[in-house]
Amino acid sequence: MKTLKKIIVFLFLSIPVLVKAETKEIPFTLDDRDRIIRTEQEVKSLKTELTVRFEAVDRRFDQLFNFLWAIIGIFTTMMVAIFGFAFWDRKLSLAPLKREDQRIVGALIEFAKTQPKLLESLKNAGLL
């Protein structure tokens, strides 16, 4: 215990000496100033290079974004054309069938005038 007290007292007494060693003044020379100036110039040039590169990357992203919009436009146009063609073709191909259905229904109605059972069936089906 006595040795521990001696160590603690020694440390407390040596603190001012250690602190003084930490606060030793370091001289600032002209070489240091020149080195700082060169470092600042290099940082400025690096900053301009990075600015140029970022602008180039921004332009490239704009080009890719415009290309993406063009692809979306082409795809949309193709889909509209395909659906339009499908509806037009369906309407065009079903028109003769509708005319033929009308002729068949007309013939059945004419025949139903002589056949009462057929007339009843057509009424139940909602064709008369």
* Amino acid making up residue 111: F
- Distance (Å, rounded) from C-alpha 75 to C-alpha 8? 82
> Residue 117 in contact with residue 124, Cβ under 8 Å?
no
Whether the Cβ atoms of residue 112 and residue 119 lie closer than 8 Å to each other: yes
| Tens digits of residue pLDDT in 52-86 | 999 999 999 999 999 999 999 999 999 999 999 99
Specify if 69 maps to a domain: yes
Q: Does a structural domain hold residue 4?
A: no
Number of domains in the chain: 1
Classify residue 51: in a domain, yes or no.
yes
Does residue 40 fall inside a structural domain?
yes
Which residues span the domain enclosing 68? 31-125
Q: Is residue 119 part of a domain?
A: yes
**Its pTM surpasses 0.85:** no
